[in-house]
Chains A and B, each alone.
Chain A
Amino acid sequence: MIDLTLLADGGIGWIDASGPASPLVLSTRIRLARNLAGRAFATRNAPADREAIAEAVGTAVEGTSALGRAAAFRLDRLELRDRLLLHERHLVSRELAGLAGDPVPAGATLLVQGRVGAMVNEEDHLRLQGVVSGFALEAAYAEVDRLDNELGQRLAFAFHPEFGYLSACPTNVGTGLRASVLIHLPGLVLTKEISKVLQGLSQVGLAVRGLYGEGSEVVGNFFQLSNQTTLGKSERDLLDHLGKMVREVMAYEDEARAVLLRDARSVIEDKVWRAYGLLRYARALSYEETMNLLSGVRLGVGVQIIPDVGLYALNKMLVHTQPAHLASAHGVALDDPSLAVRRAEFVRALLQDEGRRAG
């Protein structure tokens, strides 16, 4: 079993809901795809090359301020539950954790320190990442940019004067930058405006994904909005464009909530209090049900119908009720039949604490 106490904040500092627009936006994450010059990309390199890459990166991060004290995890030496746990924390992709159908890639490594991290031997040699709480593109970019600058002075990255930073997949070439904002949009879902908004976003070059990024489903009305293209615009322009669009989506969400409260207040009140009631008193909860109920309570907190539940507690429930988190906390297998009961216990205790704290 892995020891996440090695990480100051468990690698999920964003959970404290301290960032801007936290009621709507859980986290802002920016990743940069980088490859080392003179080494074959992942589809054409051998396990020995991948070991050499992991070693070169490990040496390069020593002495950097961004990752010099990083906790390191070798995904290819971890059991499934631990790999899933890191994925549930959004620290590694499905591919690096060996959850996408293929086995864990040889040499797959995760380095994490505070708000930055690096996946090594993913589709690209390096996926650098910065994650912050709330809607804060500038702050997230500042984190990952510092890491990029430090590593770029110690390692030679593959760069082409015309194409920019070279990636294994042409969809990432240029800046290699993918910024994503994890946003909660229950108002737009309830007013059925969501498909129009998502369609609009795809027309302005943004991608919409589920809670866990590429290939994942939308659960609990959480959407990941990110830039689709990486070439032909500067880093700053990509962030500005995404920021502008996210602000528009936030305004639409606020509008949808106002309409719901104006035209159907009693229905909304009933809906969010029912969600609260189930979380507060249910004796067994599935993961999916929990996500949907948490969405209802989050909406209730956002529109000030439910007074005594903090965003930090809601974020904690979101993270710690996931299958691998629960299974690890209780030292049981991922398919243990007791998980639904333990999930309900965890949620109940947290909501009780919140009530006591407020009362």
Chain B
Amino acid sequence: MTCQQCEEREAVVQLKRVEGGEVRIQHLCERCAAERGVPDGEETAKTPLGAFLAAMGTDLAGESPLTSGAALAECPGCGATLQDFRRTGRLGCATCWSTFEGPLRGLTRRVHGATRHVGEFYVRPGAEPPDQAALVQRLREQLSMAVADENFERAAELRDRLRGLE
């Protein structure tokens, strides 16, 4: 297939866009795609998360346009898209973490081997402190991890804290 923009070179990139609620697919050659701001594979690999992000892009490309909502979504907080994230390896704002929650959960699993924060629980100035039950639950999670790691000193410390709360 020839490029739909220059009508000269071979099309190698599929550009998906949402216009007026409809998904439009355009077939482009490498040069025209670059002009439209689509990063090439090499550029993606240069970012620290290159390999992960490239793999993530492949996953997303495999999905049907109707189900890949996250791939097309724009973050309401900053306007960033997953394509932006793929290009830079950086998120645009805190809201991106909620907007792209699904793909990011997959990514954090691969990077950290986990998807859930179990460390210090932050309470913003003026906000209500977290409820007791949630805190107990977190400490229990940490305790079972300490036991799994055979870190008995830490496990004893956590057990004491749990006893104090319960």
Check B111–A229 contact: CB distance below 8 A. yes
- Digit string of A222-241 for contact with B (CB within 8 Å is 1, else 0)? 00000001111111111011
CA distance A120 to B91 in the complex (A): 18
CA distance A157 to B94 in the complex (A): 10
- Digit string of B71-85 for contact with A (CB within 8 Å is 1, else 0)? 000000111100010
Chain B residue contacts of A38, Cβ below 8 A = 94
- Digit string of B143-157 for contact with A (CB within 8 Å is 1, else 0)? 001100101001000
Given known contacts A41-B93, A237-B146, is B122 in contact with A232 (CB within 8 Å)? no
CB distance from B5 to the nearest CB of A (A): 28
Check B146–A232 contact: CB distance below 8 A. no
CA distance A2 to B14 in the complex (A): 53
CB distance from B98 to the nearest CB of A (A): 7
Check B125–A174 contact: CB distance below 8 A. no
Chain B residue contacts of A41, Cβ below 8 A = 78, 90-94, 96
Main secondary structure on A side of the interface with B: loop
CB distance from A42 to the nearest CB of B (A): 7
Check A164–B48 contact: CB distance below 8 A. no
Given known contacts A156-B124, A158-B94, A160-B94, is B112 in contact with A169 (CB within 8 Å)? no
- Digit string of B102-126 for contact with A (CB within 8 Å is 1, else 0)? 0010011001111111111010110
Check A166–B90 contact: CB distance below 8 A. no
Chain B residue contacts of A158, Cβ below 8 A = 94
Chain A residue contacts of B111, Cβ below 8 A = 170-171, 229, 231
Chain A residue contacts of B151, Cβ below 8 A = 237, 240
- Of all chain A residues, which has the CB nearest B94? A158
CB distance from B72 to the nearest CB of A (A): 18
Given known contacts A170-B49, A173-B108, is B117 in contact with A37 (CB within 8 Å)? no
Find B117's partner among A39, A163, A170 (CB 8 Å cutoff). Answer: A163
Q: Say if the beta carbon of B44 comes within 8 Å of chain A.
A: no
Check A232–B117 contact: CB distance below 8 A. yes
Check A235–B90 contact: CB distance below 8 A. no
Main secondary structure on B side of the interface with A: loop
- Of all chain B residues, which has the CB nearest A214? B48
- Digit string of A144-177 for contact with B (CB within 8 Å is 1, else 0)? 0000000011111111111111111111011101
Number of A residues contacting the other chain (C-beta, 8 Å)?
A: 47
Check A233–B114 contact: CB distance below 8 A. yes
- Of all chain B residues, which has the CB nearest A168? B90
Q: Say if the beta carbon of A123 comes within 8 Å of chain B.
A: yes
| Contact-residue bracket for chain B | 35 or more
Taking CB atoms and an 8 Å cut-off, the chain A residues in 32-65 that contact chain B are: 35, 37-44
CA distance A163 to B106 in the complex (A): 12
Chain A residue contacts of B77, Cβ below 8 A = 40
Chain B residue contacts of A231, Cβ below 8 A = 108, 111-112, 114-117
Check B92–A44 contact: CB distance below 8 A. yes
Chain A residue contacts of B117, Cβ below 8 A = 160-165, 173-175, 231-232
Chain B residue contacts of A177, Cβ below 8 A = 119
Check A234–B118 contact: CB distance below 8 A. yes
CA distance A205 to B113 in the complex (A): 10
Check A123–B119 contact: CB distance below 8 A. no
CB distance from B150 to the nearest CB of A (A): 10
14 A–B contact pairs at CB < 8 A?
Answer: A38-B94, A41-B78, A41-B90, A41-B91, A156-B125, A160-B98, A163-B117, A169-B49, A170-B108, A174-B119, A230-B112, A231-B116, A231-B117, A236-B154
